[in-house]
């Protein structure tokens, strides 16, 4: 089966890591997947393209003018048919819209999508318009995959209860994560990790819903009891200047490092003391699964599929209410009781091996593909 995966990626975050793991597993199953990675004109290479090449995964690089580019969408469809595509798999709202509204093929080729997470934009903004178009587009697709049951509440009722909805939780290649965790880190990051202990790690786009402002505020409280602690936030985004201003306001710039986008998160995790997920909304973060793989203690807000993965708190510490004091106390609790933290990480690793492997995820996607081809 020839599967075309479509993505316009902004880094090497959860959706990208999931896609790479899925394609790798599909190749092992004898399928013929390929990633079509789109970017704006002038972008030389994207992180997902570099990582796919490193892993030896098939990838097609495509550059185009951004926006509702109907003409370029037609070219992608033509190329896909020439390649002999059997099914198109969209990852992200951009291709949901382009394929759902403008995708046309000469013969019936099913298009499915995976919704990796939903962020609600302020009304009447450009992103709000895209959100509306995305809802319209996915209603036209053969199958819609959610990464967890909790995401159903983000969809319109008629779509959430539709037979076209399937639940497939993300999976990762544990062996690949462990290999990456042993690699060296950039010099500035390595020096920071040597100078601080314990080290609190936050990972993700610097966007409003990730709640890194809450994490920075909680870290200020943690420093009162752990003056040698360090906070490392790996990621890039529109909230950088606001977060940097907050760090300066609290006078904790010497204890905080924001190195920007980092390609090797598992290596960071292997040298950190705790991962903190401070998000107000999530699907099923690959970052969480990576932390379980390297057995890094986790403190997280109770959103999306995170409570399921952390077994209601048996595999990590859940913070029910998003308050900086609660987050700070939860992190300090991990440091104060390392034996309990170790028990939680061991349980999380076992669950990861049982339920969240890339091969199990690929088998579930194959069933969805077969259903879509029969519709």
- pLDDT tens figures, 213-269: 999 999 999 999 999 999 999 999 999 999 999 999 999 999 999 999 898 999 999
Where do the domains of the chain lie, and which CATH numbers do they carry? 2-172+357-374 (3.40.50.2000), 174-355 (3.40.50.2000)
* pLDDT of 332: 98
CB-based contacts of 211: which residues, under 8 Å, 6+ apart? 278, 279, 280, 301, 322
Does residue 120 carry a pLDDT above 80?
no
Q: What is the pLDDT of residue 355?
A: 92
Candidates 67, 68, 71, 72; CA nearest to 36 is 72
Element (H, E) at 73: helix 70-83
Task: Work out the widest C-alpha separation in the chain, in whole angstroms.
Answer: 66
Q: Which whole number is the average pLDDT over 316-332?
A: 93
- % of residues, the chain, pLDDT over 70: 100
**pLDDT confidence band for 159 (50 / 70 / 90):** confident
Give the tens place of pLDDT for each residue, 40-88: 999 999 999 999 999 999 999 999 999 889 999 999 999 999 999 999 9
What is the C-alpha to C-alpha distance for residues 129 and 105, in angstroms, rounded to an integer?
A: 26
State pTM to two decimals. 0.85
Considering only CA atoms, which of 272, 367, 360, 375 is closest in space to residue 18?
Answer: 360
Per-residue pLDDT for 118 more than 80? no
**Structure confidence by residue, pLDDT tens digits, 9-49:** 988 888 999 999 999 999 999 999 999 999 999 999 999 99
Q: Please, what is the average pLDDT of the chain?
A: 95
Instruction: Return the DSSP state at 172.
Output: B
- In this structure, the number of other CB atoms found within 10 A of the CB of residue 339 comes to 7
């Amino acid at each position: 089966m020839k599967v075309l995966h479509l993505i316009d990626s902004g880094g090497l975050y959860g959706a990208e890591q999931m896609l790479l793991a899925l394609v790798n597993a599909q190749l092992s199953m004898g399928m013929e997947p390929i990633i079509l990675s789109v970017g704006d004109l002038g972008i030389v290479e994207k992180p997902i393209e570099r990582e796919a090449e490193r892993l030896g995964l098939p990838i097609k690089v495509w550059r185009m003018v951004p926006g509702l580019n109907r003409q370029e969408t037609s070219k992608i469809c033509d190329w896909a048919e020439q390649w002999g595509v059997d099914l198109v798999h969209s990852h992200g709202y951009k291709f949901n819209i382009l394929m759902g509204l403008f995708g046309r093929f000469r013969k019936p080729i099913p298009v499915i999508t995976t919704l990796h997470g939903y962020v609600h934009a302020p009304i009447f903004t450009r992103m709000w318009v895209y959100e509306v178009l995305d809802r319209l587009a996915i209603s036209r697709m053969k199958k819609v995959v959610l990464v967890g049951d909790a995401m159903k509440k983000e969809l319109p009722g008629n779509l959430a209860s539709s037979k076209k909805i399937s639940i497939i939780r993300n999976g990762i290649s544990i062996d690949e994560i462990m290999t990456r965790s042993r690699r060296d880190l950039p010099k500035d990051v390595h020096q920071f990790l040597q100078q601080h202990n314990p080290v609190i790690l936050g990972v993700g786009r610097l966007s409003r819903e990730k709640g890194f402002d809450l994490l920075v505020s909680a870290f200020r409280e943690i420093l009162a009891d752990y003056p040698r602690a360090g906070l490392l936030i790996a990621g890039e985004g529109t909230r950088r200047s606001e977060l940097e201003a907050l760090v300066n306001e609290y006078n904790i710039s010497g204890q905080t490092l924001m190195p920007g986008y980092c390609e090797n998160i598992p290596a960071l995790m292997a040298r950190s003391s705790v991962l903190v997920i401070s998000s107000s909304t999530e699907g099923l973060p690959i970052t969480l699964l990576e932390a379980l793989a390297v057995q890094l203690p986790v403190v997280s807000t109770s959103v999306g599929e995170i409570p399921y993965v952390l077994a209601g708190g048996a595999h990590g510490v859940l913070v029910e209410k998003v308050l900086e004091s609660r987050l700070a106390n939860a992190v300090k609790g991990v440091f104060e009781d390392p034996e309990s933290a170790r028990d939680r990480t061991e349980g999380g690793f076992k669950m990861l091996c049982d339920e969240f492997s890339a091969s199990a995820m690929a088998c579930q996607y194959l069933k969805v593909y077969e259903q879509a081809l029969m519709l």
